[in-house]
Amino acid sequence: MAEEGISRRSILKSLSMGAVAGSVLRAIPLEAAEYAHGLIDAEKSAQGGSYTPRFFQPREYKTLQALCETILPADADSGGAIEAGAPEYIDLITSENSDYQVKLGGGLMWLDATCGDRYGKGYLDCAPQQQKEILDLIAYRKSADEDDRLSQGVEFFSILRSLTADGFFTSKIGIQYVGYIGNTFLVEFPGCPPVPGA
């Protein structure tokens, strides 16, 4: 039992370290990401399709979901971050990484406080135009150069975008979306198709 806990923790730590170094499959071991998504799927199956956040409080988790949906919404070609399980993925790896707990937890508090100062209410209670306005401010590093009060928000949103992309593109939906067909056995390789007009 202890050995299982250690391997689970080390796998989730490898995800955290990979996400710090870069983004998506370039830095994160695919096996570790698949393991994390598998843990989430198993929990959702055991709980009738629902996921209980391990780190974020309920309101923070709803804010996280709303932000992930804004970053990678569903479209005609694919489901979005919510369908891919990106919020669950972010919560799971955040529960194992104290740096993320500070940066993401603090970032969500910063977002609500800043919305409270500007609009008199938290992010989730703001009108869509107000939400867009605040996200437009923190979506670009130049905003922090122009107003250092936005630095924490800019850093938070940058990390959240990377983690949302990681959660999406390492999920079954994301892998299908990019058409990744690696790790499959080919009986024969027919070569490249002929070039028209050559």
Residue 19 to residue 169: CA distance in whole angstroms: 13
Residue 112 to residue 105: CA distance in whole angstroms: 11
For the full predicted model, state whether its pTM sits above 0.85: no
Residue 13 to residue 105: CA distance in whole angstroms: 18
- Residue 72 burial by Cβ neighbours in a 10 Å radius (0-12, 13-18, 19+): buried
pLDDT of residue 69: 96
Distant-in-sequence, close-in-space partners of 118: CB < 8 Å, separation ≥ 6: 130, 134
Say yes or no to pLDDT of 163 above 50: yes
**pLDDT band per the 50, 70, 90 thresholds, residue 121:** very high
pLDDT of residue 29: 65
**What are the respective helix, strand and coil percentages of the chain, to the nearest 5?**
70, 0, 30
**pLDDT band per the 50, 70, 90 thresholds, residue 191:** confident
Residue with tokens 């928000």: 153
% pLDDT > 70, the chain: 81
Determine the length of the chain.
Answer: 198
CA trace torsion 107, 123, 16, 80 (10° rounding): -160
pLDDT of residue 110: 97
Residue 145 to residue 168: CA distance in whole angstroms: 30
In this predicted model, what pLDDT tens digit does every residue of 41-71 receive, in sequence order? 888 889 888 999 999 999 999 999 999 999 9
In this predicted model, what pLDDT tens digit does every residue of 137-156 receive, in sequence order? 999 989 888 888 999 999 99
Say yes or no to pLDDT of 96 above 70: yes
Residue with tokens 């910063």: 110
Residue with tokens 């938070």: 156
pLDDT of residue 9: 57
Residue 4 to residue 145: CA distance in whole angstroms: 45
Could you give phi then psi for residue 160, rounded to 5 degrees?
Answer: -65, -40
